[in-house]
């Protein structure tokens, strides 16, 4: 890689301390115009990569051809408005859902939650949507999720299916996105989620937030049992007067 290219890109990279063995290499902001309903909204896009503890920005850049990054996905975050300074910022920690986010599957409400979170953040004037790539199927991965779906077609609910495949109900980790959040903003936030337990778990990891903002919707005969399981087994609380499950 040409040194002039390295010098240019290094100015858009930050190294964030993560744990005893790794740091995070954060890239951005990148201006990202997004079609949201009938308007184009410009977000600031960042993505990050775990790196070795002593690795420099230049070493990260020079190592890229050997990393095979296309073989696995990286997480990223869309930032809107003056996220660092404004009060009452909204954030969403959104777990990737290949079937819901991309294909528009009605078996879950993930695609709806993704778009609705973006709308809520824009209407609020500032916020951030974290898109977490290693969270597919609550952390079991896309291939295993397809097996879990087959079990659900044979009478298992979403929690029972994961357990039947010898996985815990939830394998998701939030340590890395929280480090990125703390780098981007020091002030408190409001977490967009239907699960108060998720808020409490994130607060124990260092999230500065006092409340969760629900976003129920897109309920249908296709996902009714899935949403009931979220309420009955995963601690989700429906927003009154919005949806009955």
In a domain, 19, yes or no: no
pLDDT for 196: 77
H or E segment at 29? strand 22-36
CATH of the domain at 216: 3.40.50.10990
Instruction: Tell me the pLDDT tens digit for each residue of 185-224.
Output: 999 999 998 887 778 878 888 888 878 888 876 677 766 6
Q: How far apart are CA 62 and CA 108, in angstroms?
A: 41
In a domain, 201, yes or no: yes
Instruction: Tell me the pLDDT tens digit for each residue of 114-146.
Output: 999 999 999 999 999 999 999 998 899 999 999
Q: Exactly one of 92, 138, 172, 218 is catalytic; which is it?
A: 172
In a domain, 102, yes or no: yes
Instruction: Tell me the pLDDT tens digit for each residue of 44-82.
Output: 999 999 999 999 999 999 999 999 998 888 999 999 999
pLDDT for 234: 60
In a domain, 86, yes or no: yes
pLDDT for 151: 95
pLDDT (average), residues 98-123: 93
The question of whether 172 is a catalytic residue gets the answer yes
Question: Cα 193 to chain center, whole Å?
Answer: 11
pLDDT for 241: 37
In a domain, 218, yes or no: yes
Contact 109, 214 (CB under 8 A): no
Number of domains composing the chain: 1
Residue with tokens 């990279």: 13
Which one has a higher pLDDT value, 223 or 233?
223
Q: Exactly one of 169, 170, 185, 218 is catalytic; which is it?
A: 170
Q: How far apart are CA 232 and CA 225, in angstroms?
A: 10
In a domain, 159, yes or no: no
178 token code pair: 């929280």
Residue 38 has pLDDT above 70, yes or no: yes
Q: What is the chain's alpha carbon radius of gyration, rounded to the nearest angstrom?
A: 19
In a domain, 142, yes or no: no
Domain interval for residue 37: 31-44+68-134+171-232
In a domain, 125, yes or no: yes
The question of whether 170 is a catalytic residue gets the answer yes
Q: Whole-structure pTM over 0.85, yes or no? A: yes
């Amino acid at each position: 890689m040409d040194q002039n290219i390295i010098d240019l890109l290094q100015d858009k990279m930050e190294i964030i301390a993560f744990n005893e063995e790794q740091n995070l290499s954060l890239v951005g902001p990148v201006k990202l115009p997004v079609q949201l309903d009938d308007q184009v909204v410009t977000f600031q896009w960042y993505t990050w990569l775990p790196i070795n503890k002593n690795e420099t920005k230049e070493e990260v850049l020079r190592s890229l051809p050997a990393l095979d990054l296309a073989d696995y996905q990286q997480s990223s975050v869309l930032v809107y408005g003056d996220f660092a300074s404004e009060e009452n910022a909204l954030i969403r920690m959104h777990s990737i859902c290949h079937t819901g986010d991309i294909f528009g599957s009605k078996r879950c409400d993930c695609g709806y939650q993704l778009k609705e979170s973006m709308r809520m953040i824009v209407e609020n004037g500032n916020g951030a949507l974290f898109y977490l790539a290693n969270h597919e199927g609550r952390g079991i991965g896309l291939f295993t999720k397809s097996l879990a779906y087959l079990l659900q077609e044979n009478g298992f609910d979403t929690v029972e299916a994961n357990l039947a495949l010898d996985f815990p109900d939830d394998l998701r980790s939030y340590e890395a996105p929280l480090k990125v959040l703390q780098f981007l903003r020091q002030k408190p936030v409001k977490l967009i989620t239907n699960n108060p337990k998720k808020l409490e778990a994130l607060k124990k990891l260092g999230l500065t937030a006092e409340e969760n903002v629900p976003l129920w919707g897109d309920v249908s005969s296709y996902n009714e049992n899935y949403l009931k399981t979220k309420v009955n087994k995963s601690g989700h609380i429906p927003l009154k007067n919005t949806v009955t499950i």
